[in-house]
Amino acid sequence: MLLCNDPIKIREFITLCPPLISKQRREASRLYQTYIIMGKLINDFESYRNKMNDRIMETANTNIKRFFALDTTTYTDGALNVKTKEMLGLVASMVLRCDDCIKYHLGKCHEAGVNHDEMNEVFMIANLVGGSIVIPHYRRAVEYWDELNEGAN
Amino acid sequence: MLLCNDPIKIREFITLCPPLISKQRREASRLYQTYIIMGKLINDFESYRNKMNDRIMETANTNIKRFFALDTTTYTDGALNVKTKEMLGLVASMVLRCDDCIKYHLGKCHEAGVNHDEMNEVFMIANLVGGSIVIPHYRRAVEYWDELNEGAN
Amino acid sequence: MLLCNDPIKIREFITLCPPLISKQRREASRLYQTYIIMGKLINDFESYRNKMNDRIMETANTNIKRFFALDTTTYTDGALNVKTKEMLGLVASMVLRCDDCIKYHLGKCHEAGVNHDEMNEVFMIANLVGGSIVIPHYRRAVEYWDELNEGAN
Amino acid sequence: MLLCNDPIKIREFITLCPPLISKQRREASRLYQTYIIMGKLINDFESYRNKMNDRIMETANTNIKRFFALDTTTYTDGALNVKTKEMLGLVASMVLRCDDCIKYHLGKCHEAGVNHDEMNEVFMIANLVGGSIVIPHYRRAVEYWDELNEGAN
Amino acid sequence: MLLCNDPIKIREFITLCPPLISKQRREASRLYQTYIIMGKLINDFESYRNKMNDRIMETANTNIKRFFALDTTTYTDGALNVKTKEMLGLVASMVLRCDDCIKYHLGKCHEAGVNHDEMNEVFMIANLVGGSIVIPHYRRAVEYWDELNEGAN
Amino acid sequence: MLLCNDPIKIREFITLCPPLISKQRREASRLYQTYIIMGKLINDFESYRNKMNDRIMETANTNIKRFFALDTTTYTDGALNVKTKEMLGLVASMVLRCDDCIKYHLGKCHEAGVNHDEMNEVFMIANLVGGSIVIPHYRRAVEYWDELNEGAN
């Protein structure tokens, strides 16, 4: 049993909870280890995305499935490599201000080896073209990018 | 007293919490029943919406109230029936990517009898016209639509 | 030879041009007849759209062609009929404020038999959801809708 | 008869056209005077807007007319004065990138006495919040604002 | 230790939790006092914004820092005063539908002395220009504005 | 004197206009040569852009000039090369549907050596992320890209 999934609070909980409820304490301790390894934001995003994509594959009509297939094939290697395409997907997502799309493409950019300086230049183009209205999304992107890079170390 | 309102965790809580804190257990058990009946997403959306609409009616000026009145009369039966109008409201909300507006019109479409196949065609038009940037909103729409349909059974 | 394709001015030209340049006069007279029959706005939109779609089919890659194919199949009869789908496409185009998309779906709505009162209710939902920023696009939509209906008489 | 309504070309036409077609020359000369007095961009925008608003009042349903009425009453003097409200309308139109809406509010800002330095600060907020994607609309806004101020001298 | 930071639930917790876990009870009691004083929404927004702005200053490149500097200087007193500029920033944020940007400018408008009636007129322009799609953001804006004004009393 | 700047019509004019008005004929012939060499769309876009940028530099305040400077420095070589940055600028412009911004970045992509297959993959990402609402802008982009490539041969 765990009433909360915030790692800070879980750590407090581990310290504070009385011996009486040692079962919760063990559970909390286990979950806290998980957060260290894979990152809470990434985990939350990925698990919801996977759950709902599964549900979509169960319920969607043929055209929607074709649209999802097209979404996958578009970002494969071609005249442009995956790294460039993922940066294109990211900048498009940032100027259209979709946090989930930003997270998705940040994950893919990370996998494709976009480094810190390159990412900052993508962030700058997004902020410039999209304007200061992009800044709150940029803040969340930096937090997610940090988590991706912590997980990688 | 309940520290959490996630039904999964509440169920775990009911199983795990020691007899000592049986008061929380009873409360958790009661809340879990409620989730089964009306759906957490629907309940959260509706209760916040109602609370703030009440507050707006207390604080808004005449023009804002007229705008809200117009928002109501626009979706009543006319040359087009309510069902068609609510699908129009939904597709507009999806391409403009407003989760709350999507939830609202999903609820109204459900009331107006839009079926599963019709809804998938609305979803497809929204994804096609609005692009893959709509997908995260489509995921949340599917989750909400599922809850609306579970509630109806 | 015709230096201008505004029907009002062409009519003036027919009246005013001296006998000396009777060749232009005949040409102008011919073109003016065409405008009466099919409408200048419709003709301009359709001819450019057709020209560029041909060019796209010559130059695009496989994914783009699949995307265009999907755009076609999405609006065919299904759980929802063509008329409803075209109104959905129109309202989405209006709130996203794309004049060419609006013209396209107005043409399709006209073919599908959307009448004057129904169209006004679609226009109202678009104005309401999208706001007064939609009004200039609504003005151009009314002009195009008028031309479609004149052509039909 | 006039085949063109570009003042530069009309002036060339006045110079170049042979005595034979003196009727066109007189017409061109007259039109050119008009351009000097009221500005071509303003004239084009206002005349189309007025024509289509008249048509909308003939064809629209009650809700659309209410929406247009609300659009008018919103910008009248209240807790905020007309000048402030028109600057609010302008900045909203610029970040949403609607050229006709920008022209309309520029005209109203001009009437309300917004000066050059104030206008530049509105332009800056629009460019900053909306991003470099606003720049082409800002260019057209500067051209229209110049014409408004020339007409005023 | 506190598993939850909802003031309503914290109050329930204070009442319900058994003497055995008096440590949590004291912590809950302390947190509840804090909510009364400064407002939870404001605190959540400000603390996250400050944390991430610090992180951005550590990680961003020169162009991003220049963009942030420009964002600051744009809203200082000039030909237009801070109050007017903050209302311009707010209306732009509302029609572009960015909740965090809305919160930021609501805070600044509050500091600059925008009163209730003036704020309602800004809200009306945002709803009118941006359309009913703005309404969910307007609801959250009213909630935040209420909290700002409670904090001020 | 030339009443029209459409190359097709100019060619017709050259053929049709009577010897009497040979001055216009010579002018038309000269202009038609120019169109062949540099492309009408490019010329129209560049000349208006340059004219208004000059006017902005005359009239803008310091912050606007800083914003324009930032717009220039953002696209210079850095961790990402100019070619990649211009493709990022292009895809952002396409999903935000700004024709002038698209033309600008198409011109820069052409200078940076983006080839036909690469450009098609940028076009696909823009269509996919932004949806079918991007298609009319894609049509105009193809036309402009063709002109850029004709000019290069």
Please state which of the ranges A148-152, B62-66, C16-20 shows the lowest mean pLDDT. C16-20
Q: Which of C74, C85, C125 sits opposite B92 (nearest CB)?
A: C125
| pLDDT for residue B7 is more than 70 | no
Buried b (16+ CB within 10 A) or exposed e, E97-123: bbbbbbbbbbbbbbebebeeebbbbbb
Q: Which of B6, B136, B12, E25 is nearest to A6 (CA)?
A: B6
A-chain CB neighbours of C66 within 8 Å are 66, 70
The average pLDDT across C82-99 equals: 98
CA E152 to mean position of chain CA atoms:
14
Q: Under DSSP, is residue E92 helix (H, G, I), strand (E, B) or coil?
A: helix
Q: Nearest chain E Cα to D117, which residue?
A: E79
Cα angle for residues D8, F99, A67 (degrees, 5° grid)? 155
Q: Which of B17, B28, E14 is nearest to A20 (CA)?
A: B17
Q: Which of B68, B92, B100 sits opposite E136 (nearest CB)?
A: B100
Q: Using CB atoms, list chains with 3+ pairs below 8 Å to chain C.
A: A, B, D, E, F
Helix (H) or strand (E) holding F99: helix F99-111
| pLDDT for residue A17 is more than 90 | no
pLDDT at C152: 53
CB–CB contacts below 8 A, B to F: 27
Cβ A13–E23 below 8 Å, yes or no? no
Distance separating alpha carbons of residues A87 and C128, to the nearest angstrom: 36
Per residue in D103-113, pLDDT (tens digit) is 999 999 999 99
Q: Using CB atoms, list chains with 3+ pairs below 8 Å to chain A.
A: B, C, D, E, F
pLDDT at A2: 35
Q: What is the DSSP letter of F5?
A: -
The average pLDDT across A131-145 equals: 98
Distance separating alpha carbons of residues C19 and F95, to the nearest angstrom: 53
Would you tell me how many other CB atoms lie within 10 Å of the CB of residue A51?
Answer: 12
Q: Nearest chain E Cα to F73, which residue?
A: E63
Residues 6+ apart with CB under 8 A from B125: B91, C74, C75, C85, C88, C89, C92
pLDDT at E39: 86
A-chain CB neighbours of C70 within 8 Å are 63, 66-67, 70
Cβ C61–F20 below 8 Å, yes or no? no
- Give the C-alpha distances (Å, rounded to integers) separating C59 from C53, C113, F139: 10, 35, 11
Would you tell me how many other CB atoms lie within 10 Å of the CB of residue A57?
Answer: 11
- Structure token digits, residue A93: 């997502």
- Structure token digits, residue C13: 């030209």
Q: Under DSSP, is residue C41 helix (H, G, I), strand (E, B) or coil?
A: helix
Please state which of the ranges A38-52, A67-81, B12-26 shows the lowest mean pLDDT. B12-26
Per residue in D70-118, pLDDT (tens digit) is 999 999 999 999 999 999 999 999 999 999 999 999 999 999 999 999 9
Distance separating alpha carbons of residues A133 and B127, to the nearest angstrom: 24
State the nearest Cα–Cα gap between D153 and chain E, in angstroms.
Answer: 22
Cβ D74–B66 below 8 Å, yes or no? no
- Give the C-alpha distances (Å, rounded to integers) separating D146 from D151, F91, F93: 9, 32, 27
Interface test with B, best of F127, F129, F135 (most B CBs within 10 A): F129
pLDDT at C39: 87
| pLDDT for residue C137 is more than 60 | yes
Q: Nearest chain E Cα to C128, which residue?
A: E131
> Terminal CA-to-CA distance of chain A, rounded, Å?
31
CA dihedral C120, C121, C122, C128 (to 10 degrees): 110
Cβ C129–E132 below 8 Å, yes or no? yes
Handedness of CA F119, F122, F128, F130 (dihedral sign): negative
pLDDT, greater one: E110 or C1: E110
pLDDT, greater one: B24 or B56: B56
Interface test with F, best of E65, E71, E74 (most F CBs within 10 A): E74
Distance separating alpha carbons of residues F1 and F25, to the nearest angstrom: 9
Handedness of CA E52, E57, E60, E66 (dihedral sign): positive
State the nearest Cα–Cα gap between A41 and chain B, in angstroms.
Answer: 16
User: Please, what is the average pLDDT of chain C?
Assistant: 85
pLDDT, greater one: B1 or D3: D3
pLDDT at A7: 56
Interface test with E, best of C97, C123, C127, C129 (most E CBs within 10 A): C129
User: Please, what is the average pLDDT of chain A?
Assistant: 85
Distance separating alpha carbons of residues D72 and D88, to the nearest angstrom: 14
Q: Which of F96, F93, F107 is nearest to F44 (CA)?
A: F107
Residues of chain B with a CB closer than 8 angstroms to some CB in chain C: 70-71, 74-75, 78-80, 84-85, 87-89, 91-93, 95-96, 101, 115, 117-118, 120-122, 124-126, 128-130
**Where are the alpha helices (H) located in A60-98, listed in sequence order?**
62-73, 82-95
Please state which of the ranges C33-37, D59-63, E130-134 shows the lowest mean pLDDT. C33-37
Distance separating alpha carbons of residues C82 and C49, to the nearest angstrom: 21
State the nearest Cα–Cα gap between C78 and chain D, in angstroms.
Answer: 30
Rg (CA), chain C: 19
Residues 6+ apart with CB under 8 A from C71: B128, F132, F135
Cβ D1–C16 below 8 Å, yes or no? yes
- Structure token digits, residue D24: 């066109």
Please provide the size of chain D in residues.
153
Distance separating alpha carbons of residues E97 and E94, to the nearest angstrom: 5
Cβ E138–B48 below 8 Å, yes or no? no
Query: pLDDT-based confidence at C2, cuts 50/70/90?
Result: very low
Helix (H) or strand (E) holding D66: helix D62-73
Cβ A1–B18 below 8 Å, yes or no? no
Q: Under DSSP, is residue B75 helix (H, G, I), strand (E, B) or coil?
A: coil
- Give the C-alpha distances (Å, rounded to integers) separating C99 from A122, C75, D52, F152: 31, 19, 15, 32
State the nearest Cα–Cα gap between F22 and chain A, in angstroms.
Answer: 49
Taking phi over 0 as left and psi of -120 to 50 as alpha, with beta for the rest, E104 belongs to alpha
Q: What is the DSSP string of C50-93?
A: HHHHHHHHHH--HHHHHHHHHHHHTTSSSSS-HHHHHHHHHHHH
Distance separating alpha carbons of residues C32 and C17, to the nearest angstrom: 15
State the nearest Cα–Cα gap between B70 and chain D, in angstroms.
Answer: 7
A-chain CB neighbours of F122 within 8 Å are 80, 88
Mean pLDDT by 10 residues, chain E (153 residues): 47 47 54 60 96 97 98 98 98 98 98 98 98 98 96 56
pLDDT at D42: 95
DSSP E strand stretches across A63-147: none
State the nearest Cα–Cα gap between D115 and chain C, in angstroms.
Answer: 25
Residues 6+ apart with CB under 8 A from F98: D97, D133, D136
Q: At what angle do helices D82-95 and D135-152 cross, to 10 degrees?
A: 140
Query: Which stretches in chain F have pLDDT values below 50?
Result: 1-4, 13-14, 16-21
Cβ B101–E138 below 8 Å, yes or no? no
State the nearest Cα–Cα gap between C58 and chain B, in angstroms.
Answer: 23
User: Please, what is the average pLDDT of chain B?
Assistant: 85
Cα angle for residues D57, D62, D66 (degrees, 5° grid)? 85
Q: If 0-12 CB within 10 Å is exposed, 13-18 middle and 19+ buried, where does residue F22 land?
A: exposed
User: Please, what is the average pLDDT of chain D?
Assistant: 85
State the nearest Cα–Cα gap between D19 and chain B, in angstroms.
Answer: 56
F-chain CB neighbours of E73 within 8 Å are 63
Distance separating alpha carbons of residues B126 and B106, to the nearest angstrom: 13
Q: Which of B85, A79, B1 is nearest to F123 (CA)?
A: A79
Interface test with C, best of A61, A63, A80, A85 (most C CBs within 10 A): A63
ipTM (interface pTM): 0.78
Distance separating alpha carbons of residues E122 and D76, to the nearest angstrom: 13
| pLDDT for residue C66 is more than 50 | yes
Q: Which of A96, F68, D91 is nearest to E105 (CA)?
A: D91
| pLDDT for residue A21 is more than 80 | no
The average pLDDT across A49-55 equals: 97
